Amino acid sequence: MSRAARARRIATVAAYGGGSLGAMAGVLYGVFYGETKLARRRIRLAETVPPRADGVWTAPGVRRFGEPLRLAVLGDSSAAGYGVLAAAQTPAAVLARGLSAIAGRPVRVQCVAVIGAQSSALLEQVEAVRVGRPQLAYLMIGANDVTHRVRPSESVRHLAAAVTALREAGCEVVVGTCPDLGTVRPISQPLRTVARRLSRTLAAAQTIAVVEAGGRTVSLGDILGPRFATERDLFGEDAFHPSARGYAAAIEVSLPSAAAALGLPTATEPAGVFLTRRVRPVAQAAAKAVTHPGTEVAAATVDGEDRGRKGRWVRILRRSRVPRPVDAPSAPDPVGHSAPAEDDAAVRDSGPAEDAALSRPGS
């Protein structure tokens, strides 16, 4: 069975209910679960929780006053920034500064991501951010579902419900799909290959569910994998979670899609052998996207119709950021300025997202 077919089946089971996804899937999850338990013994636990990124962030050259864009970040430890030492290095802060640079406005962040969270925790997180009326929600979720043997259809059902709730509240949604766990070194071969298959299949199913619910996805895939051999500092000390540079690499590919969701200017790469802008069924696009990190899958129409015989029409895009010209930015200010008493958030200025966030923890 192809990855597209498996992903479509998972998404269908999630939407309409159904039985087991097969004995082989159960065997793979059982073996993988045993291997991850061994891997966890080799993974060093973080000594501190991630610093809080909540507050108002601005990029250099952007004025602090004015109505900030409202950004909510939900998900697991990857969304929270597990392992970084400074608030400016968290994914939420990196994304906020990038959006601020493109929009020319401050960005108010509310991050409710929780270490160890599975997709089943997302609806609770949605309720936590709903009061802030976010304009954009960015989610990173899925790795814990894979390592804890959550049935893919159940995982996807929770994600779809969260995206639907956010869209009904008028919030745009971008989901960074499940990363490729085959890049995690503490998981030994041949189970690393199993981890890759399970995580990529979940990512494809997530893509189908998110697009069907009105959001868009960005494939994180093995974005750190090809560079890991030569750039070991892309992973943190536990060799499982990204470092500050690793998180910045993930946000670097997510930022243009987040900007596009808000109607901010972005550019798309010219069509190539893989990256064609033609419309295709969502399951086919999802299967391709998981093997090409940094690609976006978003809804499209054909002759005014949003669905065909094989499901919703989508396009695969690879976006790039369109920088906003600014007048001679001044030197970065220290992170963590206190806000006026009437503002309940910290106003923070820092260097450009691609500079400050790419530094190592503690630098």
Closest CA to 334 of 347, 350, 323: 350
**pLDDT at position 197:** 85
pLDDT bucket at 336, cuts 50 / 70 / 90: very low
Please tell me the predicted confidence (pLDDT) of residue 183. Answer: 62
- Determine the pLDDT at residue 92: 97
Poorest-pLDDT segment among 93-102, 236-245, 288-297, 319-328: 319-328
Span 258-274, mean pLDDT? Answer: 78
At 238, the pLDDT band (50, 70, 90 cuts) reads low
pLDDT digit string, tens, across residues 170-222: 999 999 999 877 666 555 566 667 777 888 899 999 999 999 999 999 998 76
Residue-level pLDDT at 244 = 78
For 286, other C-beta atoms within 10 Å of its C-beta total: 33
User: pLDDT value at position 105?
Assistant: 92
- Better-scored residue on pLDDT, 211 or 294: 211
Q: Are the CB atoms for 65 and 105 separated by under 8 Å? A: no
For residue 330, count other CB atoms closer than 10 A to its CB.
9
The percent of residues in the chain predicted with pLDDT above 90, rounded, is 39
Q: Which residue would you say has higher pLDDT here, 36 or 164? A: 164
pLDDT for res 326: 40
Task: Name the residue with higher pLDDT: 139 or 6.
Answer: 139
Whole-number pLDDT of residue 36? 54
Show which residues are catalytic: 77, 238, 241
- Band of residue 354 on the pLDDT scale cut at 50, 70, 90: very low
